[in-house]
Amino acid sequence: MKKLYVSNKDESVRMFKYGWMEIFSKVHFSVPLILYLPVIGYFLYAAIIDPALRGWEVGALFAGGILAWTLVEYFLHRYVFHFHPTSEMGKRLLFVMHGVHHDYPNDSRRLVMPPSVSIPLAFVFYFGYTALMGASMTAPFFAGFVMGYLCYDMLHYSVHHANIKSKWFMKLKAHHLKHHFKDPDLGFGVSSTLWDKIIGTDYK
């Protein structure tokens, strides 16, 4: 069977000629926590004090945002990160986005999304949800969405670098490691296996 990685040590390869670009392609796992926990707090607070929303609505929209993230995560991973371009530029772009992670799956500096990518995406999703739902409903929904993203980043890092013994985590870890070392065309959920099970891309 063909080896599906270059190295599974905590090491990587240089991706960019210019040093400043290389710096922005790497990030410590704590950075998303520092950036996005205040964002979650701000939007939850805005939702709680909003007279247009009841308490149960805030809770339901927050949970809906988390669920929405798991679906976005699945489709981004399956159809964007595992797209098969034919052009050399497309192949290079895909390697930068995700291919490097499959080649060096335990590189601790390329396991969470760098702010240079996550911040623009956060704005796109926020304004998109606001256009669909209005500002009041978007506040708790977006807080849940960002919470889902944060759980994804922390779980992804933990799967590759933490030694957690809970039965749930071990199942999640086995699911993701099969994606890396057994069959990368299955198992696209990282923070949840829900959509793999529903859509039919789970491991049998």
Q: Which two tokens stand for residue 67?
A: 């669920």
192 domain residue, yes or no: no
DSSP state of 78: I
79 domain residue, yes or no: yes
Confidence grade of residue 145 (pLDDT, cut at 50, 70, 90): very high
180 domain residue, yes or no: no
Give the torsion through C-alpha atoms of 169, 171, 174, 176, to 10 deg.
-70
Q: Which pLDDT score, from 0 to 100, does residue 184 have?
A: 94
Confidence grade of residue 2 (pLDDT, cut at 50, 70, 90): low
What mean pLDDT value characterizes the chain? 94
178 domain residue, yes or no: no
Q: Which two tokens stand for residue 179?
A: 């994606």
- 124: pLDDT strictly greater than 60: yes
25 domain residue, yes or no: yes
Question: Cα–Cα distance between 172 and 185 in angstroms, integer?
Answer: 17
183 domain residue, yes or no: no
Answer whether 77's CB lies under 8 Å from 188's CB: yes
Q: Which two tokens stand for residue 78?
A: 């399956």
Domain that includes residue 47, residue range: 19-162
66 domain residue, yes or no: yes
3-state secondary structure of 87: coil
pLDDT digits (tens, 9 = 90+) for 6-25: 888 888 888 888 888 888 88
Mean pLDDT across the stretch 155-168?
A: 94
3 domain residue, yes or no: no
Q: How many domains does the chain have?
A: 1
Q: Is 197 left (phi over 0), alpha (psi -120 to 50) or beta?
A: alpha
Pick from 203, 148, 154, 152: nearest CA to 181: 203
pLDDT digits (tens, 9 = 90+) for 99-119: 899 999 999 989 999 998 999
In the chain, DSSP finds a helix count (H) and a strand count (E) of 9, 0
Mean pLDDT across the stretch 54-83?
A: 97
Question: Cα–Cα distance between 135 and 129 in angstroms, integer?
Answer: 8
